[in-house]
Structure 1
Amino acid sequence: MNRNRRPQRTAARGVRGLLVVGALVIVIAATTAAISSTLPSSSSAAPSLTFSDAPAPPRSEDRGVLDETGRVGDGVTVFDDGIPALTNLDPVLLEALRQAATDAASDGVVFVLNSGWRSPEYQDQLLREAISEYGSLDEAARWVATAATSPHVSGDAVDIGHVDATAWLSEHGAEYGLCQIYDNEPWHYELRPEAIEHGCPATYADPTQDPRMQQ
């Protein structure tokens, strides 16, 4: 009879052991889940800034080409100092441009400088490249002036990058005396102080229609 009961007690102890182990497994799993829920995962990391949330790029002369020809590197804004393309502009033009850019920034618009003042040598180089690209001086003249006639060489013109900036200037530029001059160059702006009261003058189709280019 004792022999018959021993296997029953052994089996009972085995069942109890399995129950204990199972309970421990459940506790450990629950604890691990609780700890994991408090740790950041790759999917719950802070989201990166979108373009609209990102602050304007800081001033950085590393982004500009600092030579005396007026070449400009990528990402230069109209607030970057030490850039000859900016510092050699007419001071009144630069002041108006920066005031407009300050106000545009409140609308989330950044004025990127594609070109400003240029040396005569740089202007001649651009004209030669345009002749090579367009096949003739007459066609190139629709886009690039000679060093003798270019308002860039005299420090009286800027080319502003990004469509949102040129769109902003198209709507508000006259308030600062900043006017688009050519229909085919929506990025090209010059100072016309009278525009503040009377609006910008009519544009030319392209530089070949500008009497200043006939000198």
Structure 2
Amino acid sequence: MANLHPDLLRALRSAATDAAGDGVVFRVNSGWRSPRYQSGLLRDAVVKYGSAAEAARWVATPATSPHVAAVAVDLGFDARAWLSEHGAAYGLCRIYANEPWHFELRPEAQDRGCPPLYPDPTNDPRMRR
């Protein structure tokens, strides 16, 4: 969990502590990514999905990735199931319908709840920079 935004790290630790009381162990499969690593993921996705447009449904550019910005994590199954129910209380929200593992720091969710899901990243205005 190196290089994560301190607020995200605090929220994750708090949620993980509370989830442990329910017998849930948090596993972070991916956190902060360097721009170079994100570029490699995007190149691989273009090959896998056959086009840059289709790859964009799954992998952001280094300039737009919330992982590069250190405000997103990809979580294991137990953690994501628990956060899908309790995440807003910690400011941790799913953002994309097609990525149930991807959670981002959204502190305003503590008061307003998590925002509606985008179908995929191509519908997220932040990805159009």
TM-score when normalising by structure 2: 0.98
| Structure-1 residue corresponding to 2:9 | 94
Q: CA RMSD in A?
A: 0.7
| Structure-2 residue corresponding to 1:183 | 97
Aligned mates of 1:194, 1:140 — CA distance in 2: 30
Structure 1 unmatched ranges of 5 or more: 1-85
Bigger-Rg structure (1/2)? 1
The correspondence for 1:203, drawn from 94, 106, 117, is: 117
| Structure-2 residue corresponding to 1:112 | 27
The correspondence for 1:121, drawn from 36, 39, 63, is: 36
| Structure-2 residue corresponding to 1:147 | 62
- Which secondary structure does the structure 1 equivalent of 2:58 belong to? coil
| Structure-2 residue corresponding to 1:13 | none
TM-score when normalising by structure 1: 0.59
Q: What letter is aligned with 1:105?
A: A
1:93-125 CA distance string (max 9 Å, x none): 100011000100111111111100000000000
1:11-49 CA distance string (max 9 Å, x none): xxxxxxxxxxxxxxxxxxxxxxxxxxxxxxxxxxxxxxx
1:129-150 CA distance string (max 9 Å, x none): 0011000000000000000110
Structure 2 unmatched ranges of 5 or more: none
Q: What letter is aligned with 2:42?
A: L
| Structure-1 residue corresponding to 2:106 | 192
- Give identity over the alignment, percent: 71
Does residue 158 in structure 1 map to residue 70 in structure 2? no
Q: Which of 1 and 2 has higher RCO (CA within 8 Å, sep 6+)?
A: 2
Aligned mates of 1:159, 1:135 — CA distance in 2: 24
The correspondence for 1:167, drawn from 81, 95, 101, is: 81
Aligned mates of 1:179, 1:103 — CA distance in 2: 16
Aligned mates of 2:116, 2:92 — CA distance in 1: 13
Aligned mates of 1:191, 1:173 — CA distance in 2: 10
How many residue pairs are counted as aligned between the two chains?
Answer: 129
- Which secondary structure does the structure 2 equivalent of 1:213 belong to? helix
Q: CA deviation at 1:87?
A: 2.2
Aligned mates of 1:92, 1:204 — CA distance in 2: 23
1:53-90 CA distance string (max 9 Å, x none): xxxxxxxxxxxxxxxxxxxxxxxxxxxxxxxxx12010
